[in-house]
Amino acid sequence: MLNTIDHGNVRELRLARPPANALNPDLVESIIESLVLAGDQAGAVVISGLPGMFSAGLDVPQLMEMNREEMSRFWQRFLYLLRTLATSPVPIVFALTGHAPAGGIVMALFGDYRIMPRGGFKTGLNEVQVGLVVPPMVHQALARLVGPHTAERMLVAGEMMASEKAFETGLVDELADDPAAVVARAIEWCELHLALPRQALLNTRKMARTDLHGFFDQGEVPEVDHFVDIWFSESTQEALKSLLTRLANR
């Protein structure tokens, strides 16, 4: 589900749950555990995916089978994953190797840098389209990248966009010519930063990301309860079932 590849002092964590690297409880736990280890063992981290598909977001078919207690536990761990990304002691670059909708780009909001290929690959926070509401820390992290008004337009419409527009808005930081070039460029970014004086780099990075850390100060439990209430509401369940029907008919 998750492959670890060391490139010198840069550790690549490659999502490997085909066909779409959908996020289920096991994958979320694997990412958390691997990030904790990488924070102790590597100078920087690259999180990558499959060629043409970084991650399609939450594994809705599996999550739809969960009861309320199971869903609460999963969502608490997913928010903890976001906290782990936000508070990582080492830089994290997201090598978005293809499509990165919903939960795929949500994770990347909390990294240091995001690289995506040109060529029709899509990303965006489309939660509203399936009856969901992003938690406040996700809204705040998005606004931190693209500005409050642009974040509002993206979230309210649940907009999906091509990688070129994502770059123009600041949702991603850099475009590569094709999916095969994304990981190499992410490693290069890490190596350039690791060549800087180490303590100065880490202290400055920590200072610059203080606001990102603060988005989690209220804790995750209230947001878990709120999200689960919405997840099990009648309108959201109908929207999610409609989504599953569309996916099954593709």
- 191 falls within a domain: no
Number of domains in the chain: 1
Residue 230 has pLDDT above 70, yes or no: yes
Is residue 188 in a domain?
Answer: no
For residue 158, which of 123, 204, 120, 203 has the smallest C-alpha distance? 123
Q: Does residue 48 sit within a domain?
A: yes
The pLDDT value given to residue 242: 87
The pLDDT tens digits for 58-77 are 999 999 999 999 999 999 99
Is the pLDDT higher at 21 or at 221?
21
The span from the CA of 194 to the CA of 155, in Å, is 34
Contact 39, 33 (CB under 8 A): no
Summarize pLDDT for 90-148 with one digit per residue, the tens.
999 999 999 999 999 999 999 999 999 998 899 999 999 888 999 999 999 999 999 99
89 within domain boundaries: yes
- The answer on pLDDT for 44 being more than 80 is yes
Is 88 inside any structural domain?
yes
Whether 194 is covered by a domain: the verdict is no
CA angle centred on 84, ends 81 and 87, rounded to 5°: 150
In the chain, pLDDT over 70 holds for what percent of residues?
A: 98
118: domain range?
Answer: 2-177+199-248
Distance of CA 33 to the CA centre of its chain: 16
Say which CATH number the domain at 74 has.
3.90.226.10
Residue 248 pLDDT > 80, yes or no?
no
pLDDT greater than 70 at residue 221: no
Mean pLDDT over 199-217 rounds to 94
- Per-residue model confidence (pLDDT) at position 250: 67
pLDDT of residue 247: 72
Whether the pLDDT of residue 31 is over 80: the answer is: yes
Q: Is residue 28 part of a domain?
A: yes
Distance from C-alpha of 29 to C-alpha of 15, rounded to nearest angstrom: 12
Cis peptide before 222 (omega within 30 of 0): no
- Residue 197 burial class via C-beta count within 10 angstroms: exposed 0-12, middle 13-18, buried 19 and up: exposed
Q: Is residue 86 part of a domain?
A: yes
Is pLDDT at 219 greater than 70 in this prediction? Answer: no
